[in-house]
Every structure is written in structure tokens, then in C-alpha cells.
Amino acid sequence: MIPVTKPFLPPIEEYHNFLKGIWSREWITNMGPLASKLEMDLKEYLCLNHVLFVTNGTIALQMAIKALDINGEIITTPFSFVATTSSIVWEGCKPVFVDIDPETLNIDPNKIIASITKDTKAILATHVYGNPCDVLAIEEIAKQYNLKVIYDGAHSFGVKINGRSIFEYGDISICSLHATKLYHSTEGGLVFTKDPNLLKKLSLIRNFGITGFDSFGELGINGKNSEFHAAMGLVNLKYIDQIIARRLEIINRYSEKLENFKAVNPKWHKDSENNGAYLPYIISSENLLLKIKKALDANEIFTRRYFYPSLSSSLPYLGSVEMTISDDLSKRMLCLPLYFDLTNEEVDWICRLILREQNN
């Protein structure tokens, strides 16, 4: 069986060593030493001054919306994981979908202005498959209309744009460290902001708003993460460069073998490089996609239709709106298996099956 993804698991002894430390300190959660060390090491790895390690990517999004005091409409993308939209609704705001760019699958900045109303307070955009949004165009619109910007960078661990971390963009950026993501801590999330006051507020929000033994400074939530998750993050960080390098090698092999595949990859941002988080293909038709998926399924090779269906037409708590490009592309996107220990032979086999199915 070949799954679409598999979490990277480090040598168990290395994780075990961290567990011994946890046992000897008897400190297992609430911003312990491993959680602090993970934040320090991530700052260094990502070349950033500020990061908060939180429960998961979804809580990170909710904390971001809360910390920016957003009430009203938030312009967002219909082509993402459900948590992007559900966090907006969860925070009592109204998501307003703006269609995507057909080549990058990211929100199309040219379509944002037409959707701005007097109630628009923010833009929440996803760097889909890790590929940076047009951050400069979005920044300009945000400035002009006085909007906050939040980036859902759940897929963008390690991505840079013009040599700077993608997480420096927006008022707040977040990342997910869930087991299915490129870099993980089992469950986990990161929040980034360059604004020191906002960072302070986010760190209060993370811990119930507690400012002292008997004082509260903010409306907060439990956004903390544990020493066990931090330990997994710390061990995996040692391997992340190796993980990314191997995944990029696998992607190259797929590209060579699939030269004649009637499909293309999304166009990556010109000032940035792929982090190897996903291997998405835009297939020429949904029929071909379904045919290929069925053939792979029959061989116990599992692909995923990320992201199908479009969020603009599938959430029971929201009405359905037509988004021509997202509706079309969400039907034609297929992510192929990609994980650290996928072998070249397996890649070749998957590619042979795809081409055989396409050509008969």
C-alpha cells in the first residue's frame, strides 16, 4: 500500500532521549523548556525574530483573527483546507470568497478589490501547497483599503521569497505542524508577527489571557502545546533539510517520468522555491483524473483530491456561491504520493500506471 503521505518518524532513540529529560524534570506542558527551545531553534532555522508554538494550525488562525480584533467580513480563498474558512466563521466573522488564479491556485489579487465593502476588515489568504501568494499586490490593496492581512501558511514551512521567510508577510502568518505536513510535531502550529505588541497579545491569548497569579489581561484560550509535541518538533528539525532534499528529488523523478502526462503543476512564485510539501497536478479533465485515481486505487496507491470540493460550494453552514475557476480547478487537482521514504521504484511504478491509464 502506498499512501498519499506518511509522517516522518525520527529514530526512536532520539525521541526517547528527550522523554528521559521530560521524566527527570516532571514538566510536561505549559510552555516548558522543550517548547521554549523549539521556539528558539525555529527562529534560527527560519531566520525570524518571533514565533509562538501553539496547539495546532487551526487555533493559530483563530488566535490571529481574535488578536487583530476583526469583526465583519474577511476576504478569503475558496481553494484551501476547510480550516481556513471555518476559523473565520468560528470567530463570528463572515467569509467572502474571491476566486483564484488558474495558474497558481492562490487567491487572485486582481479580483479582491471588487469584493471589498464597508464591512470588509481583513484578507485571509492561503499559500496553497506552500506556494507564496502575490504578497506584494495583497499588501498594496490592504494598505489602500486599511485591511488587516493574515496568511494561512500551513503548507509553507521553510518557504522564502526573495530570501526572506514567507512568514514575515501579513500582519500575522501561521503554519501548521500537523503530522501530515512537511515538518511536524505530531500536532502543532506556529504564529508569526513582526509587531511586538501583537506578539505580546497573542502570547497572552495563548495562555487564557493570564497576566499574573490573579490577573487577566485579555480574552484568551488554551493555545499551548506540550513537551511531548515539542520534543517531536525538535527531533524532526534535525532532519528537515534531508526531508526536503529527498522530497524534491522525488518530485524531479515524477516530473521526468510524467513528461507526457496531460497535466501540469501549478506555477510557483518566481521569487521563491518549492519546499516539496505537496505534489499537485492540474489534470486536463476531471474524467481523466477519475480514471487515473481509480486505477491507482485498485493498486492500493492512494492519491488525494486536494482541495475538492471548492469551499465556496460545499459548507453546510454557508451558502453556495459560484467561483468559476475554483469550481473547475478543484475538480481537476490531484496530489500524488510524496513522502520521505517513498522509493524511486515506487515512483516509477506509479508513473507507469498513470501513463498507461491515460493512453488507453
Ligand X SMILES: *Cc1c(COP(=O)(O)O)cnc(C)c1O
* Terminal Cα-to-Cα distance of the chain (whole angstroms): 24
Distance of alpha carbon 76 from alpha carbon 79, whole angstroms:
9
When binding is defined by CB under 6 A, the residue of 39, 101, 134, 152 that contacts ligand X is: 152
Stretch that binds ligand X, among 11-19, 38-46, 77-85, 131-139 (CB under 6 A): 77-85
Q: Does 303 bind ligand X (CB under 6 A)?
A: no
User: How much of the chain is in helix, strand and coil states, percent to nearest 5?
Assistant: 40, 15, 40
Side chain identity at 120, as an amino acid letter? T
Q: Does 80 bind ligand X (CB under 6 A)?
A: yes
CB 262 within 8 A of CB 359: no
Q: Does 154 bind ligand X (CB under 6 A)?
A: yes
Q: How far is the CB of 267 from ligand X (least distance, A)?
A: 19
**Residue given cell 469584493 in the structure block:** 115
DSSP code string of 302-318: --B-TT-S-GGGT-TTS
Instruction: List, edge to edge, every strand of the sheet that includes 333-335.
Output: 263-264, 280-283, 333-335
When binding is defined by CB under 6 A, the residue of 34, 83, 288, 323 that contacts ligand X is: 83
Stretch that binds ligand X, among 9-17, 53-61, 230-238, 251-259 (CB under 6 A): 53-61
When binding is defined by CB under 6 A, the residue of 66, 178, 201, 246 that contacts ligand X is: 178
- Measured from the CB atom, the residue of 151 and 261 that comes closer to ligand X is 151
- Angstrom CA distances, 74 to 118, 315, 336, stand at 11, 16, 32
Q: Does 84 bind ligand X (CB under 6 A)?
A: yes
Q: Does 189 bind ligand X (CB under 6 A)?
A: yes
Q: Does 244 bind ligand X (CB under 6 A)?
A: no
Q: Which residue has its beta carbon closest to ligand X? A: 57
Stretch that binds ligand X, among 151-159, 190-198, 241-249, 286-294 (CB under 6 A): 151-159
Q: Does 81 bind ligand X (CB under 6 A)?
A: yes
Burial class (CB in 10 A: 0-12, 13-18, 19+), 10: middle
**Contacts to ligand X by CB under 6 A:** 56-58, 80-81, 83-84, 126, 152, 154-155, 176, 178, 189
